[in-house]
Each structure stands twice: as C-alpha cells, then as structure tokens.
Amino acid sequence: MRPARALIDLGALRHNYRLAKAAGGGKTLAVIKADAYGHGAVRCAQALQNEADGFAVACIEEALELRQAGIEAPILLLEGFFDKDELPLIDRHGFWCMVHDPWQVEALERAALTRPLKVWLKQDSGMHRLGLSAQACMAAWQRLRQVPDIEPMVLASHFARADELDCVRTREQAEAFAQLSAQIPLPTSLSNSPALLGWPDIRGDWSRAGLMLYGATPFPAAHPQADRLRPVMTLESQIIAVRELPSGEPIGYGGRFVTRKSSRIGVVALGYADGYPQFAPDDTPVALAGKPGHLIGRVSMDMLTVDLTDHPYAGIGTPVQLWGDQVAVSSVAARSGISVYPLLCGLKRAPRIYIDSQA
C-alpha cells in the first residue's frame, strides 16, 4: 500500500478547542467549514461534540452533512442562505443563520417557519467583504426583532488583518463594532483564531475558532499563545527509492536542483496531488525518521525528493514527515509563499487516519 497518509489526532483537536475557549472567555464555535480545513468535518465534529458550544460552516451542504452524521449541536451558517429556497431546510434542522445583506432580511420576513429561527447579524466593520453597514445593521435589527419567528441572537463582525499583530486596522474595526454594539443589545461575536491568540483585549461573548483548532499558527513568528497549540495533522510517507549521484547531476522535472557534490537522494511517495505545495523550494524542511532534513528538486505529482547526503541511516522505508509535530505546517507554507489555510484545506488523496492521543 502507498505509504502516504495524514494522521489526524483528535485529542490534539480537543486540546486546541479548550485553549480557544479559555482564550475567548465566553462561548466558542468550532469552525469546521471546508471539511474542517482538510481534517474531516464529521470526525472532527464527533470528537468535539461533547464540549463545543456549537459549530460553524460555510453553507447548508456542509451543515446537512453534519446533521446526517448525527451531530445535534447548533450549527451556524457563516454566510447564511444563498437562496430563500434553503429556508425550509434551515427551519427543519434548526440551523443558525448569519444575515449579512438586506435581501436576506426581506426573505426572512416572508419565510414560513415552524419554529424560531436564530439569526446572527453581521456588521461590516471595515473588512468590506460580507456584512451590513452600521446603519443597515440597525435597520435589519429593528425589522427582524418584529418578525414573530425570527430571533436575533448575536451581533457579529469579522477581522481582515488580525494576523498582523501591529496593524491598527484591527483596533479600528473593534471600535466600529463597539459603537454599533452599544446601540444593539445583543451578545457579540468578533474573534477568529488570530484575534483569539494575538488580541487578548478584544473579546466578545462568542468566538469563532478555525485555524487554531487544527494546531497551526496564523503568525509568521513564534508566539507564546500560538506555541501552546498542538498540531492535529501529520502528513507523512516513506522513502521508496535512493539514488547515489556524482556532483553536477540534475534531479527531477526541470532539473531545478543540481548536485554540488556527490549526493544521496531519497524519493518520497508524496506529491502535489496529495496537497503538498508544487513549488516548495529546495531546503523546505522535512523530518527523516524524526531528524531535520530538507527537500531538493521540484515536487512531482506523486513523489518528491529529499537530500539524504547527511543522513546515512536513511534508506528505503525510512519514514518522512512533511508536516506535523516535527515540521510546522506554517513553516512549509511560508517557505512556499502561500498561506497555511489553503495548505491544510488542500489535503487530497493521502488517506486520513484518525488517532486520539488522549483516549
């Protein structure tokens, strides 16, 4: 069997959820959209269901998958509904709904509901992606609170740059939100992972933790809070072939790397079709049987190559960790010039194997 696999440690996931909840102080939704950032939404929800205050997903398709798997906890649709035709299903399953646009307010006013529908009102406090202006938010609240089966529940907003710890925009967004929240007597929700970890004085009643649940840091440098997270995913494979080459020999597609001395090269069964970045540069870190090593040459679809010259113990069958507890996924992302979010979400083909370090 091909040795490429992603171990998913559900014990580490629970550990990270507890850190998020302690950091936020109030209630915390576990954000498990995009198949839990590549970790498997159903398994992650099952692992958290006894402690999470609820879950958040991007769309009703993701929410239904969780309900069909027996998850009964509250589920917030972060973008609400895309079409009013979703309202009967939202009603039937009791999903919570973000409201970010006046057309959704109108649709809710006209909806035929069988029970109270809880809505979160979203203010655009400065990110300018989704959300109502302060004025439109006020108007939406005035209207929706008069609709018998609609229950405005939380006032929310989202940060654009909370991962930049010296960026004044986060403070400005929090102030714009505080101004509106002084006029709308609802519980509040502001913080995503970078805000929970890096902006301890900005808090609300409900946090929305995504990335940090999976043990990855949103920050480019070491950070005392982020460093307490435990990585949930370990992407690993094995060496399946070894080459001994003299100096001056190119390796792999495009001959990007050329040996500068007589070298030992290991071929690892894992490539970009598994979600590893195709353009990870030479010297991107890997761990060879637990020891620090590095990649050389361009990553192929099914394989990549590592330098074994200084690792005489390594040979066919040696385990190679691409990211996990020995290689921070954020360092692989940074070396490759991409964000850690798409790197985790992009896991493909390599089967997920679930373990539980605390069970």
Q: How far is CA 86 from CA 42, 111, 198, in A?
A: 21, 10, 36
CB of 15 to ligand PLP, least distance (A): 16
CB of 33 to ligand PLP, least distance (A): 6
Does position 57 bind ligand PLP by CB under 6 A?
no
Residues 170 and 172: their CA atoms lie apart, in Å, by: 5
Query: Which of 13, 137, 209, 347 lies at the binding interface for ligand PLP (CB under 6 A)?
Result: 209
Structure tokens at 26: 């109030």
Residue closest to ligand PLP when measured from CB atoms: 210
In this complex, which beta carbon is closest to ligand PLP, that of residue 39 or of residue 158?
Answer: 158
Does position 78 bind ligand PLP by CB under 6 A?
yes
CB of 193 to ligand PLP, least distance (A): 3
**Part of the chain binding ligand PLP (CB under 6 A), chosen from 207-215, 253-261, 266-274, 295-303:** 207-215
In this complex, which beta carbon is closest to ligand PLP, that of residue 158 or of residue 298?
Answer: 158
Does position 193 bind ligand PLP by CB under 6 A?
yes
Catalytic residues: 33, 253
Residues 100 and 264: their CA atoms lie apart, in Å, by: 56
Does position 211 bind ligand PLP by CB under 6 A?
yes
Q: Strand 150-156 to strand 117-122: parallel, antiparallel, or no bridges (unpaired)?
A: parallel
Structure tokens at 281: 């540069």
Residues 155-174 as x/- pattern, contact with ligand PLP by CB under 6 A:
---x----------------
Sequence length of the chain is 359
Query: Which of 5, 39, 208, 298 lies at the binding interface for ligand PLP (CB under 6 A)?
Result: 208
**Part of the chain binding ligand PLP (CB under 6 A), chosen from 80-88, 174-182, 206-214, 265-273:** 206-214
Give the SS3 label for residue 128: coil
Does position 31 bind ligand PLP by CB under 6 A?
yes
For residue 226, the 8-state DSSP code is G
**Part of the chain binding ligand PLP (CB under 6 A), chosen from 40-48, 64-72, 189-197, 320-328:** 189-197
Give the SS3 label for residue 42: helix
**Residue 129 annotated in ligand binding:** yes
CB of 244 to ligand PLP, least distance (A): 44
What are the beta bridge partners of residue 227?
none
**CB neighbourhood size of 224 (10 A):** 7
Does position 192 bind ligand PLP by CB under 6 A?
yes
Does position 23 bind ligand PLP by CB under 6 A?
no
CB of 98 to ligand PLP, least distance (A): 7
Q: Which of residues 299-358 bind ligand PLP (CB under 6 A)?
A: none
- Count of residues near ligand PLP by CB under 6 A: 11
In this complex, which beta carbon is closest to ligand PLP, that of residue 192 or of residue 234?
Answer: 192
Torsion of Cα atoms, 297 then 302 then 308 then 311, to 10°: 140
Q: Are 312 and 255 a contacting pair, CB within 8 Å?
A: no
**106: Cβ contacts below 8 Å, ≥ 6 apart:** none
Residues 164 and 321: their CA atoms lie apart, in Å, by: 29
**Residue 301 annotated in ligand binding:** yes
Structure tokens at 2: 């091909």
For residue 295, the 8-state DSSP code is B
CB of 184 to ligand PLP, least distance (A): 18
Structure tokens at 66: 């969780």
For residue 324, the 8-state DSSP code is S
Q: How far is CA 73 from CA 30, 55, 61, 96, in A?
A: 11, 7, 16, 11
Alpha helices in the chain (DSSP H): 10-24, 33-38, 41-48, 60-68, 87-93, 102-110, 134-144, 168-181, 193-198, 329-336, 340-345
CB of 239 to ligand PLP, least distance (A): 34
* Contact residues: ligand PLP, CB under 6 A: 31, 33, 78, 158, 192-194, 208-211
Q: Return binding residues for substrate.
A: 129, 301
Q: Which residues are annotated as a binding site?
A: 129, 301
